[in-house]
Amino acid sequence: YFQCHMPGDPVQPGCLCVDAVWQLLGFYCVWRGALGAGRALGCGEVTFSGQIRPYNKCVRYEIEVRRFSQLKDSGASIAIADGNIFVDNELIAHVKDARTGVFHGIVYPDYPKRSANSVGGIMRGST
């Protein structure tokens, strides 16, 4: 993605930092015993004070889980955390109140959607 975002000024899209916090929070839910399909449920304020560039050596994500709940009746689990993103040991982003849930029974009967150009997410002729 560095070649496309942004041409001549390569930088990782900031939304990938937020998504990584949601992914880690989903992993935490599974570590706590949650089973099902994970979903990002939103977040509060997001602040950026730096960037991830191609020459950076290390990106570190830290989350502080503030709440984890398992809803016994539905089998769902929800976690809330704050996340910090560091690049080469410098804080470059903060995500407040990231929320991720893990739910049972999420099914999309029309996925993967077949079309004239694709079957199951694989483009025809791309092999």
To 5 degrees, how large is the angle CA 59–CA 63–CA 66?
A: 170
How far apart are alpha carbons 116 and 118 in whole angstroms?
A: 6
5 catalytically annotated: yes
How far apart are alpha carbons 15 and 38 in whole angstroms?
A: 18
How far apart are alpha carbons 87 and 16 in whole angstroms?
A: 14
- Pinpoint the alpha helices (H) of the chain: 14-31
Task: Select which of 2, 5, 69, 114 is catalytic.
Answer: 5
Query: How does DSSP classify residue 114?
Result: P
Catalytic site residues? 5
